[in-house]
Amino acid sequence: MTFTKKEFKIEFKERLQERFALSVSDASSKELYETLGKLVTSHYSGNWKNTRQGYLSEKQKQVFYFSIEFLPGRMLKSNLLNLGILDVVEEGLSDLGIDLEDLVQEEPDMALGNGGLGRLASCFMDSLASIGMPGNGNGIRYEYGLFKQRFVDGYQVELPDEWLNRGNIWEVRRESKAVNVHFGGKVDLIEEANGQLKPIYRGGYSIKAIPYDTGMTGFENDTVNTMRLWSAEVTQEDKAKFQNFEGRQELENLTSVLYPDDSNEQGRRFRLSQEYFFVSAGMQSIFNYYKTLKLPMIDMNKYIAIHINDTHPAMCVAELMRLLVDEENMSWEKAWDVTSKVMSYTNHTIMSEALEKWQSSLMKEVCPRIFQIIEEIDRRYVEEWQGVFDDDLIKRTRIIRHDQIHMAHLAIIGSHSVNGVAKLHSDLLKSVVLKDFYAIYPERFNNKTNGIAQRRWSQLSNPMLSKTLDEYIGKSWRKDTTNLRLLLNHQDNNKLLSDLEQTKFENKKKLAAYIKEHNDVTVSPNAIFDIQIKRLHAYKRQLMNLMHIIKLYLDLKENPELDITPRVFMFGAKAAPSYHFAKSVIKLINETANLINNDLDIQDKIKVVFLENYNVSLAELIIPAADVSEQISLASKEASGTSNMKFMLNGAITLATLDGANIEIRDAVGEENIAIFGLTESEVYRYYNEQNYNSADIYHNNPVINRVVNAFVDGTIPNCCMEGQEIFDSLITYNDEFFVLRDFMSYCDAQAWIDASYKDTKKWGKMSLNNIAHAGHFSADDTVRKYSEDIWQIEPIRKG
């Protein structure tokens, strides 16, 4: 279904009148946005219905992607693009005197995630629909998304993200599909005549789970899949029942807030309840769907695949067992066979503190039947392998150990596939993190390197670059980004190189204007825009970036005539509210920015900007304007990274360690088009094995490092005595966990290479072109195709 510009204008005006009794000139941006939103949803609602009915009538195998986070950002433009009406609408609105961008700004970011993992889930939703795969999302509809970040006196302050305040035009509340999720109480097992154990529930309470569905439109293909997010509601009746229950307040607020920690935070009862809530609600709704197909339960794996995105939904394994054994009276053995064929699991982290564990006693309280089932899975696991593998191996890999439930173990034991998110990461899973499991189930392990929704990160966020590309290589890259390779035929086309440079310059001007408005700092678009945007984490080493900035500052103070290419260092990062170290780094960066930006000696050669409240929409403004992409985690720590892929697609040069997907980026663009530095993963592990890293030695023996580290404690950076001391201690007293000092000189060399290379405009332009040309490697469409073939065994939609 499509329309001409004329038809669009008529329909738009009619809808505006119908809904608000207004004409264009009287309407506010918000009213215009809502009108356009409704027009868009009505535009795809027919295909949404048809897609769902098609799956049903064809009984197609579908995947359900369980993720405790989704991070779609804004959806208006993405939907317009996918429906093939972006240009018509933009022009039509312009005829009416409306700037589409103004309406876009009215949409709050849907920020129901912390970072990479949630954004990946949303890129996958886009890609599943765009390649026409039967794929659904299942998650939580948090009333408050990730906190809004403000800086007060250089410190991070968190404010609630009230994204639903003004309504959400994309969601549909489906009261009729509500289910109850049972919490607490006691469960007795009674043996029945046939020997099966039947659970009898005593006490506890149910919480009503209401699904809110959002249509996920595919790119120009009539497919509209569903992302289903669950909201908890406690009825008046329930409230009366649990008057005295101490956790009642909590339960009422079960889906209020997203936990703002992207690792580390463990053991909170409330988080466990959130996990069981969306797992149980999602599994029940899949079960209800499957029953309408009237197929044998034992065949479920032929029609349903369930994906566990990190361990947060790992209870899916036990919940499916519960439904099959308790509700459908299937034997344990048969149910287990079905369950492990249905489930698959992705690991996103190697940081041991992020591996989820729960106290047995807590799980027993929150979901007693699930705890029993996990105990039984654990018991049978031990029984199965006793005598086959040695006892120590079994002990290390069993699910319950020292009264703790290891969620990754549950996910692996209950799945037929376990994958990492970049080649190096998947290798490390096999050789280090999940080595024991690799010995037991080698056939389950595989790699699926992450990818990005390339249409969003090029066509939508960088229309100027997109137009330039069209001019030289045609439009085929818009559907298939491997065609970006056609650019390689134009490497020596000076006109193209200068056009690319010009688009970058225009994007930098846009970002400079934003910075002027929000940070009141003037930055020149002629300077190198050097950018690090990601969660603030010690392993990501924003601190090393800061130390290099301090070094440049001290060098310039000593010799103001120093010839360096003007550079703007930019940061965007939220710190988990309880992550002390990360918050100190934010304060230090802000104070350093203040110091440098206001020091006349520096003559604008360097500027430092910390962009407040980094989110998906801000990323869409920042990435097109980047010259340098900072990907400087300690080798082996970043599972993959995905912003690295977005920067590359927008022509930034990657400055990176050989970590995560950076390695595959280097392989794609070639060594001459990337700046690599630092320890390799094997060198890092050698230090671990030999336990001979000593940061104090480096500090005492290297005068450059000595001077920079001292700047944290000698008053060079004003107003952060305490924070400076903490950082100093982390580096020297606590032996620099992430080898910042070890990699620092090598990082400075790489930065010097960037400085020199940028001066050679042609060389830089060619490097940039090469990065764009090879970015097709990292398309989420391809990644999802591989998941579909190798793991989920699903096929593109059959049109009935």
Among 67, 82, 450, 613, binds ligand 26Q (CB under 6 A): 450
For 484-513, letters b (16+ CB in 10 Å) and e give: bbebeebeeeeebbebbbebbeebbeebbe
Provide, rounded to whole angstroms, the least separation between the CB of residue 356 and ligand 26Q: 5
C-alpha triplet 744, 747, 748: angle, nearest 5°: 90
Measure the CA–CA gap between 594 and 646, rounded to whole angstroms.
29
Q: How far is the CB of 539 from ligand 26Q (least distance, A)?
A: 9
**Segment near ligand 26Q (CB under 6 A), from 41-49, 113-121, 505-513, 605-613?**
113-121
Interface with ligand 26Q, residue 660, by CB under 6 A = yes
Task: State the alpha helices, DSSP H only, in 132-268.
Answer: 236-241, 248-252
CA distances, 8 to each of 19, 77, 82, 581, 705 (Å): 16, 16, 17, 53, 62
Q: Which is nearer to ligand 26Q, 285 or 450 (CB)?
A: 450
Tell me the two tokens of residue 77: 């433009």
Count of residues interacting with ligand 26Q (CB under 6 A): 24
Active site (annotated) includes residue 395: no
Question: Using the rule CB under 6 A, which residue among 34, 356, 378, 620 binds ligand 26Q?
Answer: 356
Decide if residue 271 touches ligand 26Q (CB under 6 A).
yes
Interface residue with ligand 26Q, options 114, 280, 458, 788 (CB under 6 A): 114
Using the contact rule CB under 6 A, the part of the chain among 262-270, 582-590, 616-624, 720-728 near ligand 26Q is 262-270
Per CB under 6 A, contacts with ligand 26Q among 419-438 are 421
Q: Which of 16, 40, 117, 611 binds ligand 26Q (CB under 6 A)?
A: 117
Residue nearer to ligand 26Q on the CB measure, 114 or 462? 114
- Closest C-alpha among 658, 139, 65, 633 to residue 346: 65
- Contact of 622 with 611, CB cutoff 8 Å: yes
From the list 259-267, 432-440, 454-462, 726-734, the region that binds ligand 26Q by CB under 6 A is 259-267
Site for ligand 26Q in 471-530 (CB under 6 A): none
Are the C-beta atoms of residues 593 and 608 closer than 8 Å to each other? yes
Which residue type, as a one-letter code, is found at position 486?
Answer: L
Beta carbon of residue 140, minimum distance to ligand 26Q (angstroms, whole number):
12
**Residue (54 or 116) nearer to ligand 26Q, CB:** 116
Q: Which of 646, 742, 774, 777 is catalytic?
A: 646
User: What DSSP assignment string belongs to 497-539?
Assistant: HHHHHHHHHHHHHHHHHHHHHHH-----TTSEEEEEES---GG
Nearer to ligand 26Q, 567 or 574 (CB): 574
Closer to ligand 26Q at the Cβ: 65 or 170? 65
Amino acid found at 322: R
| Least gap, CB of 135 to ligand 26Q (angstroms) | 17
Instruction: Give the Cα separation of 22 and 32 in Å (integer).
Output: 10
Q: Token match 């599994």: residue? A: 283
Query: Out of 349, 458, 768, 783, which residue is the one contacting ligand 26Q (CB under 6 A)?
Result: 349
Binding mask 207-246 toward ligand 26Q (x if CB under 6 A, else -) reads ----------------------------------------
User: Tokens 């053991």 — which residue?
Assistant: 267
Pairing of β 205-217 and β 224-233: antiparallel
Q: In this structure, are residues 456 and 623 in contact, taking their beta carbons and an 8 Å threshold?
A: no
Is 348 annotated in the active site? yes
Binding residues for ligand 26Q restricted to 624-643, rule: CB under 6 A: 638-642
Amino acid at 339: T
HSE-up of residue 699 (Cα within 13 Å, Cβ side): 19
When the beta carbons of 431 and 502 are compared against ligand 26Q, the nearer one is 431
Pair 601, 560: CB distance under 8 Å: yes
Choosing from 119, 535, 574, 587, which is the catalytic residue?
535
Catalogue the E-assigned strands of 84-161.
Answer: 110-112, 135-140, 148-152, 155-159
Q: Which of 61, 119, 348, 508 is catalytic?
A: 348
Of 214, 339, 503, 642, the catalytic one is 642
Decide if 467 is catalytic: no
Comparison of 155 and 270: residue with beta carbon closer to ligand 26Q: 270
Q: Is 504 a catalytic residue?
A: no
Q: Please list, residue by residue across 65-95, b when 16 or more beta carbons sit within 10 angstroms of its beta carbon and e when fewer do.
A: bbbbbbbbbbbbbbbbbbbebbebbbebbee
The answer to whether residue 354 forms part of the interface with ligand 26Q (CB under 6 A) is yes
Q: Using the structure block, give the residue that is written with the tokens 């939904």.
A: 313
Q: Which residues of 742-761 are buried (b: 16+ CB within 10 A; e: fewer)?
A: bbbbebbebbeebbebbeee
Nearer to ligand 26Q, 9 or 119 (CB): 119
Nearer residue to ligand 26Q within complex by CB, 71 or 609: 71
Mark whether 9 is an active-site residue.
no
For the beta carbon of residue 462, count every other beta carbon within 10 angstroms. 23
Residue 645 Cα to chain centre, angstroms: 13
Q: Looking at beta carbons, which residue is closest to ligand 26Q?
A: 116
Please give the Cα distance from 468 to 386 (Å, whole number): 64
369 is annotated as an active-site residue = no
DSSP one-letter string for 786-797: HIIIIII---PP
CB of 661 to ligand 26Q, least distance (A): 7
* 657 binds ligand 26Q, rule: CB under 6 A: no
Closest distance between ligand 26Q and the C-beta of residue 160, in Å?
A: 19
Q: Residue 359, interface with ligand 26Q (CB under 6 A)?
A: no
- Binding of ligand 26Q at residue 116 (CB under 6 A)? yes
Minimal distance in Å, beta carbon 120 to ligand 26Q?
4
Q: Could you say which of 228, 455, 534, 541 is catalytic?
A: 534
369 vs 650: CA distance, rounded Å: 50
Contact call for residue 466 and ligand 26Q (CB under 6 A): no
Closest residue by Cα to residue 200 from 213, 185, 221: 185
Catalytic residues: 348, 534-535, 540, 642, 646
Contacting residues toward ligand 26Q, per CB under 6 A: 114-117, 120, 259, 261-263, 265-266, 271, 348-349, 354, 356, 421, 450, 638-642, 660
